[in-house]
Homo-oligomer: A and B are copies of this chain.
Amino acid sequence: MSLLRYDATTNDWVIFAPERARRPHERAVRSEVDRSAQAAIGRCPFCPGNEHLTGPEIFAVRNTEASTGWQTRVVANKFPVLRIEEDHRRREEGTLYRVMGGCGAHEVVIESPDHDRPLAHQPVEQVEAVLRTLQVRFNDLLRDARFQTIIPFKNHGEGAGTSLHHPHWQLIATPVVPRLLRLKQAVATDYFDQTGKCLYCVLLADELAFGERVVAQNDHFAAVIPYAAHAPFETWILPKAHQASFGWMPAERLRPLAEILKTVLLKLYNGLDDPAFNLTVNTVPRGDEDKAYFLWHIEILPRLTRTAGFELGSGMSINTVLPEDAARSLRDVEVT
């Protein structure tokens, strides 16, 4: 059972997910799935044949009617940080403090039956199936009116915090809009109020005109390393036509998105020797799907450096690689 507490010094909610009844310092290591069960059986719960080891199946893409196998598979996270059964109403504790139940959802999207093949090396059809699966789950979760944002993300590699090798994504639905998204929303709304334009569309147009920070592009998407990237090789993939929500992306854009995502992941894989990375889908909170201020996009953060005291204490990032240098180096990476 988890809960959310309000940080009165940063106007922010923190999720508390004390999962097991062990001693506190042992609980400090978080697990995405039941690793003890996995270790006991010696089998991967995400591999075909071990479907009974996961939480209940929520959704799957299956190849053909004749086939009994699945192409992608969505299951409930066995140790969710948030879940639908919890109470999302706020309660006050004393004068400063507020708490609410850990209401939300936490799903795992198993990318493919392949235990060892990273997304960069999947056929583009499989990448497309993963993106379609994510969009289906994203839109379905939004039907629960208590959820304010749905965050699809992927952790690749131990350095990026993943504990399970079999490639997968996750979706977390939150009962509040997280602070960072509120900040981006406020900044972009302010820009829109001043100029009548979408900040991210202007940013993308500027990057395409300048060219030196562009990593790859096709007719519908562009991959750029932003002017003020917060970490080395941080790469964004943005649609070329305005669209506020990932959930509203037309079905015919899934293929070109799969193509550019595969290209970028391959360039990172080949150019940086399979780095650990975190990938998140940035999109508007519930109800802003038709708004003009925001452009949904993917952010990929390779974990090449470690944040230390200065960054944690100030919130200010130190980036050791200029975006122009990083983009040039990724443009030069062969991906055939």
Contact = CB atoms under 8 A, between A and B. Distances in A.
A283 to B, nearest CB: 10
Contacts of A30: 305, 318, 320
Interface in A224-246: 226-230, 232-233
Given A5-B228, A325-B18, A301 B305 contact: no
Interface in A277-336: 278-282, 299, 301-302, 304-310, 312-322, 325-326, 328-329
B5 A227 contact: yes
Q: How many copies of this chain sit in the oligomeric assembly? A: 2
A272 interface: yes
A12 B316 contact: yes
Contacts of A93: 227
A25 B325 CA distance: 9
A314 B14 contact: no
Contacts of A161: 305-309
A310 B16 contact: no
Given A8-B187, A170-B310, A29 B316 contact: no
Contact of A27 (B7, B174, B282, B321): B321
B278 A308 contact: yes
Interface of A, helix, strand, loop or mixed by DSSP: mixed
A180 B322 contact: no
B279 A309 contact: yes
Contacts of A8: 187, 191, 199, 203, 227-228
Given A27-B321, A227-B97, A280 B313 contact: yes
Contacts of A7: 226-228, 230
Interface of A: 5-19, 23-25, 27-30, 81, 93-97, 149, 151, 153-155, 159-162, 170, 172, 174, 178-181, 183-184, 187-188, 191, 199-200, 202-203, 206, 210, 226-230, 232-233, 271-273, 278-282, 299, 301-302, 304-310, 312-322, 325-326, 328-329
Query: Sorted from nearest, which 10 A-B pairs have the closest CB atoms?
Result: A180-B315, A280-B313, A161-B308, A153-B309, A178-B314, A7-B228, A278-B309, A28-B304, A178-B316, A161-B306
